[in-house]
């Protein structure tokens, strides 16, 4: 049969050639299904490509992924001659629905790296790739995962914000210096000294470098080393002695030592699915150190990456004592073991005090509780008197900040007359939105046990809703909706979304009294109602103010394109 010229041209068109090039039959990448999918637990590691047949980006990545499978050479682990092997695999997420659900595949393509067993004998968790769909970027990601070390050169403020804001890992380490200096050279060799610490061997650490003349990055005049422990929220800067050994010790100190309690600490640790138990040492200042040493030694030796820890000076933190019902001095010193899997400190699984802390008994109790609770998820003896009243009554809110969209605006704000509410409006294109969002989440976690106050975030890119008396043209911005009248929202005015600024704003604006689960100040809500009344009097005038006392709340949403009908 004779083919027409148009048909011949169609066969040799770029689209046809491209489809042939991504044909699964020509691939040497190992296809996986539910029946043969296993997480590597030997010396091999695995890269898995989750895709959908209809996905255009997946079709473009297929030939790149297959070429990478043939050309990639795994690097050796620093300070050793060992090289791990890497297996390239792929999963059709449309067919293998259970696998896609297990690894929370929400978009395509998605790459996951499974590290297998490391050379220290531990099995690492799967790591999601978040870079560009390019061979060079994927290679850099693999090199970092396979060897455990790479210094990322950060050359713009945007890349710096992306580097520190998107890493939900254990440690972010950044050196601010010239590339040609001795300290920069020492920084390139720092990895073996850092992972010599037993606890840090099981952590993921990201290393970056910013030029000394840059107007972004760590806040220092010239040379400094910044270490950010993302699980505890502690961020420290070193400004002298930049030898290899000195920098390694500084990183180890920030990464493995027990840090003092901060409000956001438990919520940050909760994001790590590996950590199930959190140890809180509560004691007067002169008795804290001995307990800290025992706890750190036990966790570092036997529960690295599985248990977190913090300490509280009971003489300086009455809020913590009240929250965990430890006002009775006979209960101190104490060690609380918190189950953080269902919320921020929602359940105290064990309260150790008195003779339970003497000698080796503390370590023995920690081990017994971990054996009872950690591997199986069972409680190891819940202590009712150490639970908060909110947990007892079932009023604990599991997520400090909830997502707000146009369709649930009326339900969550207008109808919640008994609640004060904060809404964080942002755009994904905002330069500072990730950092500010972290501050807002940390702030919200402090009050998530109070049923009278809500925290929401609102993506203005995805929700085109016109709000009366609300200006969201410039984001990010926080608006406060008082419980006494949702028609008079108040804008949070501050150059930076810092916890201390939001803290003062809250206490001067809250109008609904707290239930007492987080009683940091007395008469909460009273002052806010007085200030609200004064602001309204100034804004409306006396006559309108008096009339307003007897009127119902007006509509929050104004008519217009995209406005929600209320």
Taking only the tens place, the pLDDT of each residue in 308-350 is 677 788 887 776 776 677 766 677 888 887 765 544 444 566 7
Return phi, psi of residue 117, to 5°.
Answer: -90, 125
CATH of 402-548, one of 3.30.70.141, 3.40.50.12160, 3.30.1360.200, 3.40.30.10: 3.40.30.10
Q: Which tens digits make up the pLDDT trace of 85-95? A: 788 999 999 99
pLDDT higher than threshold 80 for residue 68: yes
Q: Top-level CATH class of 276-387? A: alpha beta
pLDDT higher than threshold 80 for residue 378: no
pLDDT at 396: 35
pLDDT at 273: 41
CATH of 151-257, one of 3.40.30.10, 2.40.50.140, 3.20.20.70, 3.40.50.300: 3.40.30.10
Average pLDDT, stretch 142-149?
A: 68
pLDDT higher than threshold 80 for residue 24: no
Greatest mean pLDDT among 131-140, 373-382, 449-458, 524-533 lies in 131-140
Residue spans of alpha helices (H) in 148-279: 157-165, 182-188, 191-194, 244-256, 265-270
Per-residue pLDDT band for 538 (boundaries 50, 70, 90) equals low
Per-residue pLDDT band for 50 (boundaries 50, 70, 90) equals very high
Mean residue pLDDT across the chain: 69
All CATH 3.40.30.10 domain ranges in the chain, comma separated: 5-147, 151-257, 276-387, 402-548
Spatial distance between the Cα atoms of 478 and 470, rounded to a whole number of angstroms: 10
User: At 236, is the secondary structure helix, strand, or coil?
Assistant: strand
Per CATH, the number for 5-147 is 3.40.30.10
Average pLDDT, stretch 550-558?
A: 40
Share of the chain above pLDDT 90, in %: 5
Spatial distance between the Cα atoms of 118 and 202, rounded to a whole number of angstroms: 9
pLDDT at 51: 93
Share of the chain above pLDDT 70, in %: 55
pLDDT higher than threshold 60 for residue 522: no
Greatest mean pLDDT among 5-9, 213-217, 273-277, 462-466 lies in 213-217
pLDDT at 49: 94
Q: Model-level pTM?
A: 0.34
CA nearest to 233, candidates 164, 300, 153: 164
444: which residues sit within 8 A by CB, 6+ positions away?
400, 401, 422, 455
pLDDT at 356: 84
pLDDT at 111: 92
User: DSSP labels for 379-419?
Assistant: -S---GGGS-HHHHHT---S-SSEEE-GGGHIIIIIT-TT-
pLDDT at 132: 84
């Amino acid at each position: 049969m004779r083919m027409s010229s148009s048909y011949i041209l169609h066969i040799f068109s770029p689209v046809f050639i491209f489809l042939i090039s991504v044909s699964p039959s020509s691939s040497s990448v190992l296809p996986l299904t539910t029946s043969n999918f296993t997480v590597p637990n030997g010396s091999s590691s695995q890269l898995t490509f989750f895709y959908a047949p209809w996905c255009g980006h997946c079709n473009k990545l297929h030939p790149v992924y297959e070429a990478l499978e043939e050309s990639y050479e795994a690097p050796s682990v620093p300070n050793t001659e060992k090289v791990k092997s890497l297996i390239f695999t792929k999963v059709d997420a449309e067919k293998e629905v259970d696998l896609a659900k297990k690894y929370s595949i929400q978009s395509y393509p998605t790459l996951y790296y499974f590290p297998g067993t490391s050379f220290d004998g531990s099995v690492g968790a799967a790591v999601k790739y978040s870079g560009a769909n390019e061979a060079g970027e994927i290679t850099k990601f693999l090199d970092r995962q396979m060897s455990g070390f790479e210094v990322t050169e950060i050359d713009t403020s945007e890349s710096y914000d992306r580097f520190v804001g998107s890493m939900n890992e254990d440690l972010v380490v950044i050196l601010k210096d010239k590339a040609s200096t001795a300290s920069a050279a020492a920084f390139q060799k720092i990895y073996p000294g850092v992972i010599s610490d037993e606890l840090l061997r099981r952590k993921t650490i990201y290393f970056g470098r910013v030029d000394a003349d840059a107007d972004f990055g760590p806040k220092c005049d010239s040379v400094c080393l910044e270490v950010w422990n993302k699980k505890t929220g502690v961020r420290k800067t070193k400004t002298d002695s930049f030898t290899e050994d000195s920098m390694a010790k500084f990183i180890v100190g920030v990464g493995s030592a027990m840090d003092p309690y901060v409000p956001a600490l438990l919520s940050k640790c909760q994001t790590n699915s590996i950590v199930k138990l959190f140890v809180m040492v509560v004691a007067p200042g002169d008795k804290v150190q001995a307990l800290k040493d025992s706890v750190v030694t036990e966790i570092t030796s036997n529960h690295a990456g599985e248990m977190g820890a913090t300490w509280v000076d009971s003489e300086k933190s009455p809020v913590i004592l009240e929250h965990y019902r430890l006002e009775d001095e006979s209960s101190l010193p104490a060690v609380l073991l918190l189950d953080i899997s269902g919320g921020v400190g929602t359940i105290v699984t064990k309260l150790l005090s008195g003779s339970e802390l003497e000698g080796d008994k503390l370590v023995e109790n920690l081990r017994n509780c971990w054996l009872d609770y950690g591997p199986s998820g069972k409680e190891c003896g819940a202590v009712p008197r150490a639970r908060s009243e909110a947990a007892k009554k079932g009023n604990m809110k599991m997520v400090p900040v909830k997502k707000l969209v146009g369709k649930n605006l009326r339900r969550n704000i207008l109808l919640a007359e008994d609640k004060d509410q904060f809404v964080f409006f942002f755009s994904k294109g905002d330069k500072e939105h990730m950092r500010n969002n972290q501050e807002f989440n940390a702030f919200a976690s402090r009050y998530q046990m109070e049923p009278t106050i809500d925290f929401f975030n609102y993506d203005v890119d995805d929700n085109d809703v016109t709000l009366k008396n609300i200006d969201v043209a410039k984001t990010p911005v926080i608006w406060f909706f008082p419980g006494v009248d949702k028609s008079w929202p108040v804008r949070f005015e501050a150059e930076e979304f810092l916890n201390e600024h939001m803290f003062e704003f809250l206490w001067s604006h809250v109008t609904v009294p707290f239930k007492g689960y987080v009683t940091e100040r007395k008469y909460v809500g009273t002052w806010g109602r007085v200030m609200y009344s004064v602001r309204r009097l100034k804004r409306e005038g006396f006559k309108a103010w008096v009339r307003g006392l007897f009127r119902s709340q007006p509509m929050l949403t104004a008519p217009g394109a995209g406005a929600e009908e209320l």
